[in-house]
Amino acid sequence: MNIYKKQFYVKNKLNFCFTIISCVLMTAINVASAFILKLIMDVATSGSLKDMKRLFLYSMVYLIVLIAVMFIKRRYYNNFIKKAMVQFKEFAFSKLLDKSINSFDKEVTGRYISIFTNDMASIETGYVEANLKITVQIMSFLCGLAAMAYFNLILTLAVLAASFLPILVSVIFGKSLEEKVRLVSAKNEGFVSMVKDLLTGFSVVKSFRAEKEIFNLYQKENAQIENAKNGKRKTGDFITLLSASSSFLVELTTFLLGAYLAIQNIITAGTVIAFIQLLNLVLGPVEALGPMLTERKAAVSLINKIETATTAAEKKEVSEEKTDFSHAITLHDVSFGYEKEQSILKSVNLTFEKGKSYVIVGASGSGKSTLVNLLLGYHNNFDGEIKIDGIDLMTLPTSSLYNMFSVIQQNVFLFDSTIQDNITMFKTFEKADVTQAMEKSGLTKLAAEKGVNYKCGENGSFLSGGEKQRISIARSLLRKTPVLIMDEATSALDLKTARLVEEEINKLKDITRIVISHRMDEGNLRLYDRIIVLNNGIVAEEGEFDRLIENKGYFYSLFQVTKSA
Ligand SMILES: Nc1ncnc2c1ncn2[C@@H]1O[C@H](COP(=O)(O)OP(=O)(O)OP(=O)(O)O)[C@@H](O)[C@H]1O
Ligand SMILES: [Mg+2]
């Protein structure tokens, strides 16, 4: 059993054992009911008052055992399912959190949403519950047949022979149902992705008067998912129809043969009644097992899909975990493109020394964000070498990179929680550290006005762009990592606040700062030890402000253009 399927059973053994025991007892009770019915019929046709007393006693015992077993089942069966699903969902989500950013970004988030809602529900019924039900059905079939054989062998053989018909039906048509279930899951992914996207862009849709066009998109996807579901239902119904009619043929065979044997006085009328009762035990599974096994197979393929989606094909990590940074980050002949044959960065050679501050400037699309994303290990298919203190970045565990670098991205993301939670990322920090991080990022006034427990709204929608940025700056400063990377982290701040925040950041001791900036503000640029100028993926120039101005090269022209704008 693979590790994903194991999650249903680990720490769930007691519930599982009692569930199975109650299922066995339930089957025994069902078989016993046939014996009681036979007894009733035989007592009625040729019994005595003494037999009636015995019958009454048996019936009472039957009832008491039935109630007791139902109670056991109610408790352990439901607990088993609950725990199995909690553990499985937790395991899948923890695996998902283990993925690196690099292997997550490429996928559509709608896929994961669909997995944790729709697919999980299908797995609950189609696998976890189905496993138990299938066990019950098989036991019921075998015990039913055994009891039948005890009463009359010829009739039993006839039932067995006729049962092959419905079994054949489910074997033949099961495969097509399985495909339909998979199709529904795939369509659901598309549907969830689209709805998520359209709702996120609600205000854009409204302000651009695109309701009709968006509705058309919705209509198309909605029709597709409902068609897929319809196809699944139709195939399911077709299988039910075929197996119901073939079951009817089995019943008819049993009735006719049973009646004939009773007329010939080979069996009693009570035995015919017992057979009718036992037929339910045998035919029920014959009808239900096919669809159940098919649904189970489809659920297994969903479990496999979850396994593929949540297990990352991670890079080979050979170096040991590294937490501190003592010397330098070097890029040697680094070239990279998102697509094959395309190159965004071209032969980049750079050194970032410990404790110094760097600002990367360049036109939009010149590759600034791409460059820092390479340092963060987001892409692993670049040419050349990136080394941190002489260790190849590709061999470092991703967790080491996240321990060394903290990054303030161009697109700030805030959780739908308080300002405090968004700064601490739900962790516990010393109060003084939080206050200091807030001061340095210019949040003190905001915190005093709104309070740190102010709810930020979905992706910080209750805050201004600049406030969101400052929260994300505080979030990074609080981590006190040896390297701080900022990608246009102050772009939404006014010149004065931006300068204050950047001054604070430049005062930080022992921290290596790599800052991407659009702002060609002389005062701002002078704060940094070195300016790196990117032009179309190439490092065009590098050096201090005055020297670059003296050079009268690409930086100079860039500076003149923005200054006069
Ligand atoms: N995930 C991606 N997939 C494909 N192409 C991308 C991706 N991200 C960026 N690009 C492309 O790579 C080029 C460099 O993008 P990058 O984001 O590094 O520019 P930038 O210098 O940060 O620009 P800006 O100042 O506008 O933020 C652009 O042409 C962009 O279209
Ligand atoms: Mg960028």
Tell me whether residue 316 is in a domain: no
Report the pLDDT value the prediction gives residue 107, as an integer from 0 to 100.
Answer: 61
Q: How far is the CA of 410 from the centre of ligand 2 (A)?
A: 6
Q: Are residues 134 and 281 in the same domain?
A: yes
Predicted confidence at residue 314, as pLDDT, reads 60
Q: Select, from the ranges 83-92, 254-263, 302-311, 372-381, the one with the highest average predicted confidence (pLDDT).
A: 83-92
- Identify whether residues 447 and 550 lie together within a single domain: yes
Determine, yes or no, domain membership for 323. no
Q: Is residue 321 part of a domain?
A: no
What's the mean pLDDT when you consider all of the chain? 88
Where is pLDDT greater, at 169 or 161? 161
Q: What mean pLDDT is predicted for residues 138-156? A: 91
294 ligand 1 Cβ < 6 A: no
Q: What pLDDT, on a 0 to 100 scale, did the predictor assign at position 315?
A: 57
Q: How far apart are CA 441 and CA 451, in angstroms?
A: 16
Asked whether the beta carbons of 167 and 93 are under 8 A apart, the reply is no
Supply the CATH number for residue 428's domain.
Answer: 3.40.50.300
Q: Tell me the ligand closest to 344's alpha carbon.
A: 1
- Cα separation values, 369 from 310, 337, 443, 521, 531, Å: 27, 13, 26, 20, 15
Establish if 319 belongs to a structural domain.
Answer: no
Task: Using the structure block, give the residue that is written with the tokens 């016993």.
Answer: 32
Residues 291 and 366 in one domain: no
**According to the model, what pLDDT value does residue 372 have?**
92
Indicate the angle between helix axes 130-151 and 13-46, nearest 10 degrees: 30
Q: Are residues 354 and 289 in the same domain?
A: no
Q: Domain end: 283, 310, 337, which one?
A: 310
> How many whole angstroms separate alpha carbon 233 and alpha carbon 238?
9
CA distance 376 to 336: 14
**In terms of domains, do 352 and 278 share one?**
no
The answer to which of 125-134, 349-358, 500-509 has the lowest mean pLDDT is: 500-509
Question: In this predicted structure, which of 218-222, 311-315, 445-449 has the lowest mean pLDDT?
Answer: 311-315
Is the pLDDT at 12 greater than 90, yes or no?
yes
**369 ligand 1 Cβ < 6 A:** yes
Give start and end residues of each alpha helix (H) in 201-268: 202-207, 211-263
The per-residue pLDDT for range 457-507, each reduced to its tens digit, is 888 889 988 899 889 889 998 988 899 999 988 887 888 888 888 888 888
The 3-state DSSP class for residue 357 equals strand
CATH number for the domain spanning 188: value is 1.20.1560.10
Cα 204 to middle of ligand 2, angstroms: 22
Cβ–ligand 1 distance for 413 under 6 Å, the answer no
Evaluate whether residue 408 is within a structural domain. yes
Q: Flag whether pLDDT at 336 surpasses 90.
A: yes
| Residue 317 pLDDT | 62
Distance (Å) of CA 361 to CA 333, 407, 442: 19, 17, 24
Q: Do 335 and 299 lie in a common domain?
A: no
Stretch 13-40: mean pLDDT, rounded? 92
Q: Say if ligand 1 is within 6 A of residue 235 CB.
A: no
Q: How confident is the model at residue 564 (pLDDT cuts 50, 70, 90)?
A: low
Question: pLDDT tier at 137 (50, 70, 90 boundaries)?
Answer: very high
Q: What is the pLDDT of residue 313?
A: 66
What percentage of the chain carries pLDDT values higher than 70?
Answer: 98
Q: Does residue 278 have a pLDDT over 60?
A: yes
Q: Ligand 1 mean position to 352 CA, how many Å? A: 22
The average pLDDT across 397-404 equals: 85
Contacts of 86 (CB under 8 A, 6+ apart): none
- Whether 342 lines ligand 1, by a CB cut-off of 6 Å, is no
Residues 485 and 447 both lie in one domain: yes
* Alpha carbon nearest to ligand 1 atom 17, residue: 369
Work out the pLDDT band at 106, boundaries 50, 70, 90.
low
**Does the pLDDT at position 85 exceed 60?**
yes
Q: What pLDDT score does 28 carry?
A: 92
Distances (CA, A) of 50 to 42, 47, 59, 156: 13, 8, 14, 31
**Mutation probe of ligand 1 site: the residue of 103, 368, 371, 536 with most atoms within 8 A of C-beta:** 368
- Which of the two residues, 93 and 114, has the higher pLDDT score? 93
- The candidate with the shortest Cα–Cα distance to 145, out of 43, 256, 30, 288, is 30
Mutate to test the pocket of ligand 1, among 370, 376, 379, 517 (most ligand atoms within 8 A of CB): 370
- Same domain membership, residue 223 and residue 87: yes
- Classify residue 318: in a domain, yes or no: no
User: Which atom in ligand 1 lies closest to the alpha carbon of residue 367?
Assistant: 18
Q: How far is the CA of 344 from the centre of ligand 1 (A)?
A: 8
Would the CB of 366 count as within 6 Å of ligand 1? yes
- Ligand 1 atom at shortest distance from the alpha carbon of 368: 21
244 and 192 housed in the same domain: yes
For residues 528 and 397, membership in a common domain is answered with: yes
The answer to whether residue 379 sits within a structural domain is: yes
How many structural domains does the chain have? 2
Residue 113 reports pLDDT greater than 90:
no
Domain interval for residue 379 = 328-564
Same domain, 221 and 84: yes
| Residue 40 in contact with ligand 1 by CB distance below 6 A | no
With the most atoms of ligand 1 within 8 angstroms of its CB, the residue from 369, 375, 519 to mutate is: 369
Among candidate residues 310, 345, 365, the one where a domain is terminated = 310
Say how many Å lie between the CA of residue 370 and the centre of ligand 2: 7
Handedness of CA 122, 125, 126, 131 (dihedral sign): positive
193 close to ligand 1 (CB < 6 Angstrom): no
- Residues 413-466 have pLDDT tens digits of 889 889 999 999 898 999 999 999 999 888 898 989 999 899 988 888 899 888
Tokens read off for 270: 């009570």
| Cα of 367 from ligand 1 centre, angstroms | 6
Q: Is residue 142 part of a domain?
A: yes
Closest by Cα among 522, 557, 520, 562 to 541? 557
517 lines ligand 1 (CB under 6 A): no
Query: Do 285 and 332 share a structural domain?
Result: no
475 Cβ inside 6 Å of ligand 1: no
Report the percentage of the chain scoring pLDDT > 90.
41
- pLDDT tier for residue 105 given thresholds of 50, 70 and 90: low
For the cut 70, the answer to whether the pLDDT of residue 544 exceeds it is yes
| Nearest protein Cα to ligand 1, atom 7 | 338
Q: What is the mean pLDDT of residues 210-227?
A: 92
Smallest CA separation from ligand 1 atom 31, residue = 365
**How far is ligand 2, taken at its centre, from the CA of residue 487, in Å?**
7
Q: Quote the DSSP letter at residue 467.
A: H
